[in-house]
């Protein structure tokens, strides 16, 4: 499958290169290999390339994110404390609200509400009563 030209090239003897040419060619090859290696490092370190133009801006952005995370955790810690301090409404208020609901229902008239649409008012009960309710 070799062409006639390739066969002729194989048949010719190799001539030695002049010494100064060989030195220039090898120096150029070493330089090209060094450039190729450095471009390989730059090309594959995209994070360094991205961060390098404005490192102070990226450091500021990182500081802002750290502040957001710190605020998020500080707000999360206080939420359970606030919920624990709230007290259930007094029974008088509950009775008054039920009376107001009945009066409103009388004023509006009978409404056709399905069982699924009704909201039941459930107040937290002691855990022992919850277990009895679930078991029944």
Question: What is the mean predicted confidence (pLDDT) over 4-27?
Answer: 85
Residue-wise pLDDT for 66-107, tens only, equals: 999 998 888 875 555 665 667 888 899 999 999 999 998 888
Dist. CA 75–CA 69, nearest whole Å: 10
CA distances from 58 to 64, 65, 118 (A): 10, 11, 54
Within its chain, how far is the Cα of 2 from the centroid? 59
pTM score of the predicted model: 0.26
Q: Which of 21, 19, 18, 41 is nearest to 29 (CA)?
A: 21
């Amino acid at each position: 499958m070799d062409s006639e030209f390739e066969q002729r090239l194989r048949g010719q003897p190799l001539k030695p290169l002049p010494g100064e040419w060989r030195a220039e060619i090898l120096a150029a090859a070493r330089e090209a290999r060094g450039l190729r290696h450095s471009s390989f490092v730059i090309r594959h370190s995209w994070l360094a390339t991205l961060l390098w133009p404005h490192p102070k801006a990226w450091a500021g952005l990182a500081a802002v994110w750290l502040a957001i995370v710190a605020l998020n955790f500080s707000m999360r810690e206080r939420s359970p404390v606030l919920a624990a301090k709230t007290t259930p409404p007094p029974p008088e208020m509950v009775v008054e609200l039920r009376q107001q609901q009945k009066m409103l229902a009388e004023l509006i008239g009978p409404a056709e509400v399905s069982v699924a649409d009704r909201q039941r008012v459930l107040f937290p009960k002691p855990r022992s009563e919850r277990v009895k309710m679930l078991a029944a």
